[in-house]
Structure 1
Amino acid sequence: MGKPPEYLENSNLRLLVFGGKGGTGKTTMSSAAAVHLAKTSPLKKIMIISTDPAHSLSHGFGVKLDNRNTRLTLNNNQKSNLYARQLDAQELADQFKIENGDIMKKIADRGTYFDQKDITEFFELSLPGMDEVMAILEVARLISENIFDVLILDTAPTGHTLRMLNLPVQMEKWIQVMDMMLEKHRYMAAQFTRRKYVKDECDFFLEGLTQKIQQVNNLLKDRQITRFIPVMIPESMSIHETQKLVASLLEMHIPVKEIIVNHMAKQNACEFCTARKHQQTDPILQIQKKFSRFDLIFVENFQDEIKGYNDLSLLGDYLTGDLNAFCRKPGQKKHATMIQEIDPAMNVSNLDIDPAIQFIIVGGKGGVGKTTVASSIGLYLSGLFQDKKILLFSTDPAHSLSDSLDMKIGNCMTHVFSNLWAMEMNADQLFKDFKDSYKKDIHSMFERFFVKGMDIKFDRQVMAGLFSMAPPGLDEIMAIDTIMDLKQKNEFDMIIIDSSPTGHLLRFLELPELVRQWLKTLFNLLIKYEGIVKLTRSAQKALDLSKNTRRIQENLTDSKKTAFIMVVIPEAMGLLESENLYTYLIQAKIPLNHVFINMVLPDTDCPVCVIRQKSQKFYIEKIYRKFSKMHISPIPLFPHEIHGKTNLEELINNLFKPD
């Protein structure tokens, strides 16, 4: 390793954002940075915040964290200058509604023909991505109030992080709609009183919110105090996703100087380790070529999980040049006394999918191999059910199906093999097309219905802007709705859904009811104008979507139609997220059919592998006990990447044994 990372040495930096593909080690790297900065700058207050809905910060530090600022205690029971928090953005959003809901309703009441009931319903449902934007607003507040000297963000996987970083722009559009509502009141008040309009609490609220959003934009783009540090691993999927991430960050003018390349294999006498090292040669060359303008920080794959303050402190020392830092770590005895051989009664189960199943959802923590498992299941079932047309479909904003299948998929139906097709749905484009159609209807309506006066002009602007106030997830619901239509038209017999990582998957599974209510409210508002002109396309689409969203809910919870497959890796964070996901699935009455334990190390005498193997066996046993009523299948860790039909068939041969 060369010089220490700039993000650990530059004392002017106040905001560090770590992001990247799931499973690359974002939480570990952000936590190590927090510990190192706290240790080397004892007079500064350092705060690390997790904005990922599937929080793993608690596990990384080995302490319980919540939405409060928690001051961490060192091993000698001394209070440190390091604080941690797992941001509950929904709690912040709820508080925002309580504090500002009346003002927002007042603005709408002044600016539209909607009655009070409509306004109340609309604003209870239509804060756009507010749970996510509150995370950014909270960070801006902490920075501006100088509560902490340095803030470090541990973010969600790539697609959702980019959406969060782009939310200030979306929020500005939402504020513009609110301002249009208020503009009508300003105009009418000035006309009625024939005096200059005097600002009141509604104006001050919008001005304050605009100032906060602008502050966020300025903060994210400030090269003097902000750095985004992408974390990646030397694999093709991670390289591709990091390219998209970096391109988007540069487009948004968010400063990137360094990229961490994690999980570098070490060469030793072990054939498996040597094969892994050899497999990384080409990806590393690609990384050096594609990211040559950035400083690359290569981090080796350590033999044991990094957990707790001491481990994170050693990692910080390693990153700043002490390559022998982990040699000072006490002997690796963790789990040794707890390991038992896995009970032979814990049988490995073959994939048991009823031919009548219509939907298969593959879910789990980021980086556990969901896309690989979904792709292999697609290939396997296409051979098993040769009389069925099968679709492999991605709902994850950071699409990886193209990489997994080693062919261009994109936003169109792509024939993969025999009776298998694939599609990476562009939900944003679907939503944009819907909004464009809606706006055309609105403008057409007001052009045909002529009434003299500015109030109609203002109402047209407000009605046209309503879609900027849509709840989060409407775009994804529209994507799933498209797939439901394909199913209803019998174009496909079985659809396999490669889903978003756990935290966002949980929110997606919760979304249908919220979206259905919002669409219903929008439909009712549109119908009020039906006496003026029929909004045939938009109103009908809103009504159809509302009905179809209920159909989505019914299908997801029907065990005769839907199977949920969980992918987990034998590590503490992986187990924790799988337990949280399982709890939610039970509450939502979504049937869990099968658990795949991915990346299981093969038997070996290698001293490095043996230590990791012992740790894995401990968690494998816990997984078997936790999901004892489920079908469980371990998937071996291969020395090479799994992508393309040949590799996927190799995995299938190891995984699915013929009856």
Structure 2
Amino acid sequence: MASNQDLPEGTVQNILDQESLKWVFVGGKGGVGKTTCSSILSILLSRVRHSVLIISTDPAHNLSDAFQQRFTKTPTLVNGFTNLYAMEVDPNVENEEMLGSEGMDGFLSDLANAIPGIDEAMSFSEMLKLVQTMDYSVIVFDTAPTGHTLRLLQFPSTLEKGLAKMMTLRNKFGGMLSQMTHLFGVSDDFGEGAILGKLEGMKDVIERVNKQFKDPDLTTFVCVCIPEFLSLYETERLVQELTNFEIDTHNIIINQVLHDEEDAESKLLKARMRMQKKYIDQFYMLYDDFHITKLPLLPDEVCGVEALKSFSCNFLSPYESPIIRGKEEVLEQRVSTLREQLKDAEAELERQRKGKQKI
């Protein structure tokens, strides 16, 4: 394990300094604060980049809650910014819109069931097409929990399977494929050739983007976690999968870290801090070549642009608890409080003594 001096800087400054980055993924287990982290990253990037787009690919969209502004599948300027845009993509809703009311019955239902993830792959490729026609200097993905994120990175092979299945079905059922034309918004005159062309086009887009995803100059993945066993385990799995997909990752954000151990009077809190320290030490041991950013647990949620901006300082300089920041000052305050309490206790004791003497 590297010594503290050898460890990479515990901030996200390296991401802000890498001007070539085009795609920044933020992912991890559910409920660890991915949306807050991706929102703050996009705010920090908007200070150093010409234009930034943040996209939520999590069906349980929290981007609107984080910024306290309603977003849709069309990029919308975030209130208070001139160069930060946000959009929320829901594969299921978009797919229903594309399919129409009778789209998934019979033949089409069989096709969708035969190729798991084909609907998401298609809507994701459509979204990527849209994004590529726009001139954003960097795009931040607020991804769904780990499993969904990994599926998103498998879309090129999913579409390839889809094409192979389509060819098999065409040989089997011939003209029946014309039923699918409305799925892609083309007229019946175009027939199956247009459908296959559309799928090929989607595959081309995703393969082109996938090459960019595998280029460390263009893409990086930020893993968000909390200092607990399940989150450590999930992060390990995610880092391994990203390595298998050849996707660069060298930033871990550990959220909800408890501080002020000396100030804590609760036994439960102290036990929790000891547990967290154990897992934080393991993170440093496993990922000694990563930039590990620790974020403090706050009493309130970080919601709204001002709260996000205020909290962003913890992404740029390692958090120091008040005990460390001004230990002497805090101790003086505690001594002063104890003196006041002692005075009150002495006065109360004196009153009780006088009361006894009168009796």
TM-score computed with the length of structure 2 as normaliser: 0.71
Question: Which residue is equivalent to 2:84?
Answer: 82
| Structure 1 position 200, deviation (Å) | 5.3
- For residues 30 and 109 of structure 2, the distance between their equivalents in structure 1, rounded to whole angstroms, comes to 36
Q: 1:8 to 1:169 in 2, by over 3 A?
A: same
AA partner of residue 208 (structure 2):
Q
Structure with the higher fraction of residues in helix conformation: 2
For residues 299-320 of structure 1, the C-alpha deviation after alignment (integer angstroms, 9 at most, x for no partner) is 2223332111112112323312
Instruction: Choose the corresponding residue for 1:221, options 194, 209, 214.
Output: 214
AA partner of residue 160 (structure 2):
E
| Structure 1 position 124, deviation (Å) | 7.3
| Structure 1 position 250, deviation (Å) | 0.7
- For residues 257 and 135 of structure 1, the distance between their equivalents in structure 2, rounded to whole angstroms, comes to 29
- For residues 120 and 20 of structure 1, the distance between their equivalents in structure 2, rounded to whole angstroms, comes to 33
AA partner of residue 244 (structure 2):
E
For residues 269-315 of structure 1, the C-alpha deviation after alignment (integer angstroms, 9 at most, x for no partner) is 12234443222221111111122232212222233321111121123
- The DSSP-based 3-state class of the residue aligned with 1:160 is helix
- The DSSP-based 3-state class of the residue aligned with 1:262 is strand
Q: 1:176 to 1:62 in 2, by over 3 A?
A: same
Q: 1:315 to 1:120 in 2, by over 3 A?
A: closer
Q: 1:176 to 1:151 in 2, by over 3 A?
A: same
- The DSSP-based 3-state class of the residue aligned with 2:312 is helix
- For residues 170 and 258 of structure 2, the distance between their equivalents in structure 1, rounded to whole angstroms, comes to 60
RMSD of equivalent CA atoms: 3.1
Q: Does residue 21 of structure 1 match 2:29?
A: yes
Q: 1:19 to 1:121 in 2, by over 3 A?
A: closer
Map 1:236-275 onto structure 2 (within 5 A).
236-267=229-260, 268-272=262-266, 273-275=269-271
Q: 1:185 to 1:305 in 2, by over 3 A?
A: closer
AA partner of residue 276 (structure 1):
R
For residues 314-356 of structure 1, the C-alpha deviation after alignment (integer angstroms, 9 at most, x for no partner) is 23233122858x9xxxxxxxxxxxxxxxxxxxxxxxxxxxxxx
- The DSSP-based 3-state class of the residue aligned with 2:84 is strand
* Larger relative contact order, structure 1 or 2 (CA cutoff 8 Å, min sep 6): 2
**Contact 1:260–1:296 (CA<8 Å) still a contact in 2?**
yes
| Structure 1 position 128, deviation (Å) | 3.4
Q: Does residue 312 of structure 1 match 2:308?
A: yes
**Contact 2:242–2:248 (CA<8 Å) still a contact in 1?**
yes
Question: Which residue is equivalent to 1:62?
Answer: 68
Instruction: Choose the corresponding residue for 2:151, options 163, 166, 181.
Output: 163
| Structure 1 position 145, deviation (Å) | 1.9
Q: 1:271 to 1:251 in 2, by over 3 A?
A: same
**Contact 1:228–1:254 (CA<8 Å) still a contact in 2?**
yes
**Contact 1:172–1:213 (CA<8 Å) still a contact in 2?**
no
AA partner of residue 263 (structure 2):
A
Question: Which residue is equivalent to 1:7?
Answer: 15
**Contact 1:51–1:86 (CA<8 Å) still a contact in 2?**
yes
AA partner of residue 80 (structure 1):
T
- The DSSP-based 3-state class of the residue aligned with 1:296 is strand
The sequence identity of aligned pairs, in percent, is 32
Map 1:172-571 onto structure 2 (within 5 A).
172-181=160-169, 201=194, 204-267=197-260, 268-272=262-266, 273-321=269-317, 323=319
AA partner of residue 144 (structure 1):
Q
Q: Does residue 40 of structure 1 match 2:33?
A: no
- The DSSP-based 3-state class of the residue aligned with 2:55 is strand
- For residues 322 and 251 of structure 1, the distance between their equivalents in structure 2, rounded to whole angstroms, comes to 31
TM-score computed with the length of structure 1 as normaliser: 0.41
| Structure 1 position 40, deviation (Å) | 3.3
- For residues 39 and 202 of structure 1, the distance between their equivalents in structure 2, rounded to whole angstroms, comes to 43
Structure 1, unpaired ranges of 5+: 106-116, 187-198, 327-605, 607-659
| Structure 1 position 140, deviation (Å) | 2.5
AA partner of residue 59 (structure 1):
D
- For residues 211 and 241 of structure 1, the distance between their equivalents in structure 2, rounded to whole angstroms, comes to 31
For residues 117-153 of structure 1, the C-alpha deviation after alignment (integer angstroms, 9 at most, x for no partner) is 9646645766632443245324532443234221111
- The DSSP-based 3-state class of the residue aligned with 2:78 is strand
- For residues 125 and 248 of structure 1, the distance between their equivalents in structure 2, rounded to whole angstroms, comes to 25
| Structure 1 position 65, deviation (Å) | 2.0
Question: Which residue is equivalent to 1:150?
Answer: 138
Map 1:46-125 onto structure 2 (within 5 A).
46-74=52-80, 80-97=82-99, 119=107, 122-123=110-111
| Structure 1 position 24, deviation (Å) | 1.2
- For residues 50 and 3 of structure 1, the distance between their equivalents in structure 2, rounded to whole angstroms, comes to 23
**Contact 2:10–2:294 (CA<8 Å) still a contact in 1?**
no
| Structure 1 position 86, deviation (Å) | 1.7
**Contact 2:163–2:200 (CA<8 Å) still a contact in 1?**
no
- For residues 29 and 94 of structure 2, the distance between their equivalents in structure 1, rounded to whole angstroms, comes to 26
- For residues 157 and 206 of structure 1, the distance between their equivalents in structure 2, rounded to whole angstroms, comes to 27
- The DSSP-based 3-state class of the residue aligned with 2:25 is strand
AA partner of residue 213 (structure 2):
L
AA partner of residue 174 (structure 1):
G
- How many residues of Structure 1 are paired with residues of Structure 2 in the alignment? 292
For residues 611-657 of structure 1, the C-alpha deviation after alignment (integer angstroms, 9 at most, x for no partner) is xxxxxxxxxxxxxxxxxxxxxxxxxxxxxxxxxxxxxxxxxxxxxxx
AA partner of residue 305 (structure 1):
E
- The DSSP-based 3-state class of the residue aligned with 2:273 is helix
- For residues 118 and 199 of structure 2, the distance between their equivalents in structure 1, rounded to whole angstroms, comes to 15
